[in-house]
Amino acid sequence: MKYYRDDKFVKKFGKRLKEVRQSKKVTQEELAYRTGFELSQIGRIERGTVNTSISHISAIAKALKIKPIDLFDFE
């Protein structure tokens, strides 16, 4: 079975993450600190250049004090 990556979905997720993060007035640097991720990783997720894992989504949601499903509210 061939792995399929939906680039449009990944980009929409990243855009939604950025919207939520900014609405919470959290910088990329602060989100990186709260999650323990590299700053560059946060940027890649927001730009939609990396397909992040479920465990990362969970950590990001926890750091932003939201439910993970809130990060998928874009379609």
Q: Which residue's structure tokens are 């950590």?
A: 59
The 10s digit of each residue's pLDDT in 30-73 is 999 999 999 999 999 999 999 999 999 999 999 999 999 999 99
The 10s digit of each residue's pLDDT in 61-75 is 999 999 999 999 987
Q: Which domains does the chain have, with CATH numbers?
A: 7-72 (1.10.260.40)
Q: Which two tokens stand for residue 57?
A: 């989504």
For residues 43 and 35, the answer to whether their CB atoms sit within 8 Å is no
Q: Which amino acid is at 24?
A: K
Q: pTM for this structure?
A: 0.92
For residues 34 and 27, the answer to whether their CB atoms sit within 8 Å is no
